Amino acid sequence: MAPGGYLWWYVDALSDDGRFGLTLIAFVGSVFSPYYAWAQRRGPAPADNYCCLNVALYGPQRRWTMTERGARWCERDAHHFRIGPSALHWDGSSLTIDIDEVGVPIPQRVRGRVVLHPGRLFPFTTRIDPLGRHRWGPIAPSARVEVDLDAPRQRWQGQAYLDSNEGEEPIAKACREWDWSRSTLRDGSTAVLYDVQNHDGSDHLLALRFGRDGSVTPFEAPPRQPMRPTGWRVARRMRAPAPVQVLHQLEDTPFYQRSVLRSELLGETVTSFHETLNVPRLVSPVVQGMLPFRMPRRG
């Protein structure tokens, strides 16, 4: 991987009863890391020296962890990725994530196992920037998840999603902002909207439906619906034929938000995971100075 580049694997899930949710992101070259950004100002910085497992638990027992670890604490190959005391393992049919982290800013333990069972694997990737230096691929748009945690104590199953992003340069060069969402449709397919605004003001839009039969079908995206800004005044939008309802505000930060929405898409009422990234906010000196309080590092 080129210095300054990145690679991440992203999982989100909701329990069948709607009480619990989670996101997990395993980073090589953490795109949100202030330490990685500061190192790149001094010269080429190896991505493998800036790894972390971000764990966010939603529901009755919220937790949030994002401890970055240097290369001496990490190792990875085609099937295994160890990040300090936590690890991901792919056995050919399922992804097992063993978590042993401590939350911030309140030091609460997060420990246990998450197992993701893909419905179908998709060998599909596409660019999200004009030059193709930043790419996204939905590895398992429709999956099932088993969650068994000792701390906090919870056990549940639910519907899940797995994808990956990679880039040959810092994420700040990819775009100015993006709004992304994924929605499960009645037939079990997954609709993904990637609405990217480039630095020159032009747009790059992906509207793709991933079928249970392995098909990838473009669809005509509905118009943008403006949404209320978040508490941190992050502007956001969603492609939908009518106004969008925010069911749960999961994350609200100065540069990023994540929420669960209810909207209309492809003639159905859908529940969607949705995120917004504001790159100018991310790279601002004020935000970079704040990030170590949420992202400690163990070099």
Is the model's pLDDT at 299 over the cut of 80?
no
Is the model's pLDDT at 148 over the cut of 80?
yes
| pLDDT tens per residue across span 222-269 | 999 999 999 999 999 999 999 999 999 999 999 999 999 999 999 999
pLDDT at residue 283, rounded to an integer: 96
Q: How confident is the model at residue 105 (pLDDT cuts 50, 70, 90)?
A: confident
Question: To the nearest whole number, what is the mean pLDDT of the chain?
Answer: 97
pLDDT at residue 262, rounded to an integer: 97
Residue 237 to residue 274: CA distance in whole angstroms: 9
| Beta bridge mates, 246 | 261
Structure tokens at 47: 């991505």
Structure tokens at 228: 């209320």
| pLDDT tens per residue across span 163-195 | 999 999 999 999 999 999 999 999 999 999 999
| pLDDT tens per residue across span 72-91 | 999 999 999 999 999 999 99
pLDDT at residue 220, rounded to an integer: 97
Q: How confident is the model at residue 208 (pLDDT cuts 50, 70, 90)?
A: very high
- Residue 290: left if φ>0, alpha if ψ -120 to 50, beta else—which one? alpha
Asked if residue 292 has a cis previous peptide bond (ω within 30° of 0), the answer is no
Indicate the DSSP class of residue 202: -
The angle subtended at Cα 55 by Cα 205 and Cα 17, nearest 5°, is 85
